[in-house]
Structure 1
């Protein structure tokens, strides 16, 4: 049986966590060290992973909380397999379990989804003792679903991770703030049909104790953080819990600001809380607006209408909080006309600064296990599984939309690479959309007519799923 208690025998790896110091490594690191293990922690988005470190490890766990992380994580797993074929490779996180059938063929040895901490710890212990793997661990020989049991939460252990100064900053005018990241809940009580949280958590969520969250924030403030991102799928799944944490944060660190992700439905239901959120230091809120097409919103079971999304923009603006939407403008239910309506809304309301251009190019992903697969009407546009890209293929009924997606995705990626003015990219996208209708559009005239722009509070790394 392998000795996994030696320094570096366990290797914890993050490939990408949206420009934040990886919470999912720090959380697991704390639990393993409490049990007497001495894992090495590497964030490959910033630091190289050497072959010697890989060879030393006997158990390698790679965090894959999102699609981009999974793409990078699988590539890393295949490299690990070549360098150290005897090591046990485990992928954990939302996308690990959804794509387990593909990953377990030859890339990895096990996958864990849901509340990963306890199953992963028990997997390590099972490997040491040579016994059957525990529930919650999916292998080639053992079928297992997501582990959705309450975790004995611990304060994340971050001291082995790269300094916060190496990650994304909050840019607010000319002010650049070091950003910390934490979570106050896991899972989500809502079941939006396209969301990867839905097939894993099935409408459940867990509140992380306030003292744990505040201790994690405190540790990051000591290391220079002046802004905190709450990375919960929805900060207001439990609004009372969230407000208690925000109040305690502001009481202890009145100069520290924060941002959070909150559902449109919740922004409307609890709109009376928005002024207090601003007073407590909330400078922007991310919300999954997705579309301004009521049919698309209904098909996704988003729980809000286009008009309600517009109201949420007005309510947050009135409260002095920036609403930064995430969008899903390429879906089977979006039309060329409704795509242009989205662009018109942001232009006419002077909200272009609120969005990262990447959101104009997001196309619906349908991973294995997606709730959308259960919808009978999906068969009209659904195609075969593209396992290597972790999604089912689908085709729009209007070929112009699939062509537009390809052009917009290329344009946005190139603009990001060149660090172009986001407003320029926005109007270039609009020119492509109108060209698909056979209409002319002057980007230069639109930029001039839009007028002066301000640098609204935002993180310096664009959000990717």
Structure 2
């Protein structure tokens, strides 16, 4: 261990997959001569002994759920080991740095390409240097995100929990072990609500294909039968993406994969979909968000409701499942358009394509959000809520806030009771129609829905844009 440093790397939650942010940083630190201890608190308990031994703690917060959990862990570490340097890194770290530094919860924060600044920060604390480290935000040094190309190396996963302990691919009676990697970082698009926008501002970096393939090989050797490409948009660089999937399929022809691709790119590059299918793609996640064109324009999604319908047709034509992520509760959505969203999935027999949690998701406005810079935002954005790490807002139609709260509770209870997802969908529709004074039988609708589709999906629902419920926060703390 270099200079007797005890470096503790912590992941709180990364959508049910083995934490890439620990694997990538661990590889860089080991190359620099350190031997970090890695703990994924969504899988294993963080012990008091580990906390007491640590001189330097880095907590990964790539998403809002992880930020909520990470703040609680930082407070625990501060109490048990006040001398340890506590760093947050990831998308949400820099966005929340001011508040957390003021509360003495952390000592530093890094946003953007985190590996190099973190390694330099650890080296500086080794020598007792008081000089400011570029890309590191502290109480004495204000820094923006570090947006420079990382000298990528193969992620180190040997000290992480086994892949079998994470989310699986489920498809009928088949269950497959899932690996996770990233072919790019950042995003060339600037959707207004996206936390990537205030950090990367439309920039993205391609990870060398051989690095990605080496990471895939290592995970296949550890049992991976399916790979999730976690890029914000796998087709930010479609040529780069296809180069990787072709080589992966040639080496591992039985390996399947999924990826996240914008509706815009699915239509722009629809001619590439057959090859994507041939090389093992079984489903695509796409940020549909809404079918209200006013909402889509406000979010700068660069697609329309008609485009969404066309994307479903194109993916169905080639035999790839499209799994949309949704953001149905924004200031611009209406009760009528919410019901139209439900009707679209019901009439087109697409209910199986969505996880019920997506029908409850409410717009989050973290510090630094591009929404804060849009004209007229002061009219609907309220005060900052430090407990929620976001700004408050209310819908001008109180029924929408009431509906969102009801659906969030309903979805949580359905998840606890393992309720049939089709039934949950129609229970949601019943709640929405009730606010219009209409009666609706969820049981009758479920009976009339017809034959169920058996679609591939991950066993962990996609909570990236959702504010975590109290049960999720408890469950993710092992």
**2:23 is the counterpart of 1:26:** yes
Match of 1:87 among 84, 88, 100: 84
The Cα offsets for residues 393-423 of structure 1, whole Å up to 9 and x where unpaired, read as: 1111101001101101110111111121111
Indicate whether 1:56 and 2:53 are aligned.
yes
- Do structure 1's residue 100 and structure 2's residue 106 form an aligned pair? no
- Residue equivalent to 1:416: 415
Residue in structure 1 matched with residue 271 of structure 2 by the alignment: 272
Q: Which residue of 2 is the match for residue 358 of structure 1?
A: 357
**What is the alpha-carbon distance in structure 1 between the residues aligned to residue 133 and residue 2 of structure 2?**
17
Q: What is the aligned length?
A: 462
SS in structure 1 of the partner of residue 453 of structure 2 = coil
CA deviation after TM superposition for structure 1 residue 380, in Å: 2.4
Aligned to 2:237: 238
How many Å separate the matches in 1 of 2:319 and 2:121?
48
Q: CA deviation at 1:5?
A: 3.9
Residue 471 of structure 2 corresponds to which residue in structure 1?
Answer: none
CA shift, 1:376, in A, is 1.4
SS of residue paired to 1:236: helix
Deviation at 1:4, TM superposition (A): 5.7
1:376 alignment partner, SS class: coil
**SS in structure 2 opposite 1:37?**
coil
Q: Secondary structure at the match of 2:228?
A: strand
In structure 1, what is the Cα distance between the partners aligned to 2:65 and 2:352?
Answer: 24
Distance 1:84 1:133 in 2: 24
d(CA) in 2 for partners of 1:122, 1:141:
17
Q: Distance in 2 between matches of 1:134 and 1:319?
A: 50
Is the contact made by 1:5 and 1:38 (CA closer than 8 Å) also made in structure 2? Answer: no
CA distance in 2 between counterparts of 1:49 and 1:374 reads: 39
Report the alpha carbon displacement of residue 149 of structure 1 after superposing the two structures with TM. Answer: 0.3
Q: Distance in 1 between matches of 2:109 and 2:239?
A: 34
* Contact 1:6/1:37 (<8 A) preserved: no
- 1:289-328 pair list within 5 angstroms: 289-328=288-327
Q: Runs of 4 or more off by more than 4 Å in structure 1?
A: none
Cα distance between partner residues in 1 of 2:43 and 2:424: 27
RMSD: 0.9
Per-residue CA shift, 1:288-310, capped at 9, x if unaligned? 00000000000000010111111
Greater shift after overlay, 371-380 or 69-78?
371-380
1:124 corresponds to: 122
Q: What does residue range 62-461 of structure 1 map to in structure 2 within 5 Å?
A: 62-105=59-102, 106-131=104-129, 132-461=131-460
CA distance in 2, matches of 1:104, 1:57: 20
Task: Measure the CA separation in 2 of the matches of 1:171 and 1:414.
Answer: 22
Query: Which TM-score applies when normalising by structure 2?
Result: 0.96
What secondary structure does 2:460 align onto? Answer: coil
The residue number in structure 2 matching 1:45 is: 42
Counterpart-to-counterpart distance in 2, 1:260 and 1:133: 38
Q: Secondary structure at the match of 2:352?
A: helix
- Structure 1 distance, partners of 2:4, 2:212, is 30
Preserved contact between residue 185 and residue 232 of structure 1 (Cα < 8 Å): yes
SS for the counterpart of 1:389 is coil
Alignment match, 2:469: none
Distance, in Å, in 2 between the alignment partners of 1:122 and 1:388 is: 31
The answer to whether residue 38 in structure 2 is matched with residue 15 in structure 1 is: no
> Counterparts of 1:454 and 1:295 in 2: how far apart (Å)?
31
Gaps of at least 5 residues in structure 2 are 465-478
User: In 1, Cα distance between the equivalents of 2:350 and 2:3?
Assistant: 53
CA contact (8 A) 2:3 2:126 kept: no
Q: Is the 8 A contact 1:173 1:454 kept in 2?
A: no
Aligned partners of 2:128 and 2:201: how far apart in 1? 33
The question of whether the paired residues in 1 share the 8 Å contact of 2:117 and 2:146 is answered with yes
Deviation per residue, 1:105-156 (Å, 9 max, x gap): 2210000000000000000011111221311000111100000000000100
TM-score (norm 1): 0.98
Between the aligned partners of 1:371 and 1:464, the Cα distance in structure 2 is 21
Are the counterparts in 2 of residues 361 and 408 from structure 1 also a CA contact under 8 Å? yes
